[in-house]
Amino acid sequence: MIHAWISSAEAIRQITERRTSFPKPTGNYKVLDIFGRNVVTTEGVEWKAHRKATSPSFNEKNNSLVFAEACSQAQAMLRRWSSMNEKEATIYDAATDTLRLALFVISNVGFGVRLLWPGENAETRNRANTYIPHEIPKGYSMSFEHALTTVAEKVHWIVLVPGWLLSEWYQGVYS
């Protein structure tokens, strides 16, 4: 296999536009087939069908929504950090808060559910349709934030554990 490192924006544009001349090594992406074949793991006619289905979601309007929500959530995270008392003042694991930030952006842009950082309330953010992330709605066993966080933290097991073992485990859990 030949590898090349390209730094020219024009060359990169030409390469990415000539998909048939420069096919991606789809075998390297098999791990991403956990939920089925998709735009990343396919090429050719099948890729075109996936691209047609997914491309409407990737547009300037949605990109601006993601950017605005990411800025809003980052500001909320910084407010949270700056308001910590002396006992909480040390941030030992920034990954936890950056995961929360990403999940909060996905929650709002993808599902229309706005979540708040600890210490915030709907008036603080001046937003309607805002939810307290740690509250468990009636009829549910976990909060929306907990569900999102659990999926984000545990999804690697879906990739690492063989499918037959996962299916055995799911049958045991849900039977």
| Token code pair at residue 124 | 């603080």
> Quick check: is 1 in a domain?
no
Residue ranges making up the domain that contains 99: 60-174
Residues 31 and 85 in one domain: no
Q: Give the count of domains, the chain.
A: 2
pLDDT of residue 39: 92
Residue 49 has phi, psi (to 5 degrees) of -65, -45
Q: Are residues 49 and 66 in the same domain?
A: no
Average pLDDT, the chain: 81
Map residue 115 onto helix, strand or coil: strand
Residues 46 and 69 in one domain: no
**pLDDT at position 63, please?**
93
79 & 17 share domain: no
pTM of the model as a whole: 0.63
- Is the pLDDT at 147 greater than 50? The verdict is yes
First to last CA, the chain: 47
Q: Per the domain annotation, does 4 fall within a domain?
A: no
pLDDT tens track for 25-48: 898 888 788 778 999 999 999 999
Q: Domain for residue 170, yes or no? A: yes
Q: How far apart are CA 37 and CA 133, in angstroms?
A: 32
Q: Is residue 2 part of a domain?
A: no
Instruction: Look at residue 27 and tell me if it is in a domain.
Output: yes
Instruction: State whether 82 and 124 are in the same domain.
Output: yes
